[in-house]
Amino acid sequence: MRAMILETPRKPLRLDDLPVPKPNPQQVLIHVHACAVCRTDLHIVDGELTHPKLPLVPGHQIVGTVEAIGERVEKFHVGDRVGVPWLGHTCNHCRYCLSGRENLCDYAKFTGYNLDGGYAEYTVADESFCFLIPGDYPDLQAAPLLCGGLIGYRAYRMTGDAEKIGFYGFGSAAHILIQLARY
């Protein structure tokens, strides 16, 4: 499959030909339709997040179709359209996982950082961290929701019935949330 590879931080991504990944028992194999660009991807490529898997396929706002499933996958079927976000693995036993705050997991792994991501024709992802994308929602509009939209909506929900909301520094999250707040 064609894939864009980060071999060394601060160097341009390189087009490469990689084997199609095989899903493990908990994973789905996804044929990627779209993968948005997040500011975090640029931090990784620029070497500002300092411990990426290398070489790495970046990209963590992935939309695609399930092409194969691992033997223990229960939530998804071949043909489902799914989204894959930044959080790609948690340990299920640290104090954060046990208190419903898996986003803070001490042993988390992240798509397009510790795990290969979506700048490729195919990717694999743990079914626990995939979302079903509603059928009528276009790929290109769905992809940015997997990070900017998801993080922004979480913050928006915490504002309760605030009459005024300010945004600070959130790039795509801000432009999505401004639309949401106006609606």
Question: What tokens appear for 173 in the block?
Answer: 């999250």
Relative to beta strand 122-126, strand 27-35 is antiparallel
How many residues make contact with Zn ion (CB under 5 A)?
8
Relative to beta strand 81-84, strand 62-69 is antiparallel
Query: Which residues 66-125 are close enough to bind Zn ion by CB under 5 A?
Result: 90-91, 94, 97, 105
Query: Which residues 123-152 are close enough to bind Zn ion by CB under 5 A?
Result: 147
- Of the listed pieces 39-47, 111-119, 120-128, 163-171, which binds Zn ion according to CB under 5 A? 39-47
Give min distance, CB of 74 to Zn ion, in A.
21
Q: Closest CB to Zn ion among 27 and 172?
A: 172
What span, in angstroms and rounded, lies between the C-alpha atoms of 32 and 53?
A: 20
Residue type, 179: Q
Location of structure tokens 């940015």: 144
Question: What tokens appear for 116 in the block?
Answer: 């290969």
Give min distance, CB of 164 to Zn ion, in A.
26
- The residues of the shown chain that bind Zn ion, judged by CB under 5 A, are 38, 40, 90-91, 94, 97, 105, 147
